[in-house]
Amino acid sequence: MAEILFYNTHLAKDYDKFKEICKNHDVKIIEVGEDHVDHYVGYLLGLEGFTDEKKTEIDKNMNIDFDFILFSNFDNEKMFSVMDDLREAGANVQHKAGTTQNNVTWSLRELLIENDQEARTMGLIHKINAQLEKASDLKEKYGEDSSTKALIEEIKGFFQDSSIFTIDKAKAYYLKLMDENLRVEKENQ
């Protein structure tokens, strides 16, 4: 049976709609909260081979105060159908993931931290891409700026080497590129 592990249901946009949609799709909801975050995901899903053992050596200062859903035993068609219905009903949850052989062996806290970092990284990459597009538009409009060109090459190098990636460095590049774009606009007014 398809299941959704739902963390922090009290933060959901419209949990009653969420439950109704899951019921219509024959999806079981497993509700978990703050007191479950150090249990292994496999245990919370009731998978064989997992006990109620808790993982305690995780950074407990990381923010995990958000709602999150984990899709388990879904095929792609069913998962996308449920997600579409949730979105249309205004009951979508921003933080979500699907089970993998790897993440069922993590504590829920580890999965939440990883998912949040991934979501923030993707949001930042989207912002950087928007600034790169703006830089391209400015180049087309005013000609190539050597400082902007050098920064873009540096950014490309940064994203090509995943071993040096940090979200703080990516934020710094985003802000630097935004400043460069503003400078180019101001100089050409």
Instruction: Provide the number of structural domains found in the chain.
Output: 2
Query: In this predicted model, which residue has the larger pLDDT, 129 or 59?
Result: 129
Which of 97, 116, 135 lies at the terminal end of a domain, its last residue?
116
139 with 61, same domain? no
Q: Say whether both 72 and 148 belong to one domain.
A: no
Whether residue 86 is found in the same domain as residue 123: no
For residues 19 and 106, state if they share a domain: yes
Q: What is residue 161's predicted lDDT score, i.e. its pLDDT?
A: 85
Residues 59 and 127 in one domain: no
Which of 123, 127, 121 has its CA nearest to residue 174?
127
- Cα distance between residue 142 and residue 163, in whole Å: 35
Nearest by Cα to 3 from 90, 99, 135, 91:
99
Report the percentage of the chain scoring pLDDT > 70: 99
* Residue 173 domain boundaries: 117-187
0.75 cut: is pTM over it?
Answer: yes
Instruction: Write down which residue in 116, 148, 178 finishes a domain.
Output: 116
Q: What is the mean pLDDT of the chain?
A: 93
One domain, residues 65 and 7: yes
The pLDDT tens digits of the residues spanning 47-98 come to 999 999 998 777 777 889 999 999 999 999 999 999 999 999 999 898 999 9
- The residue from 99, 116, 133 where one domain ends is 116
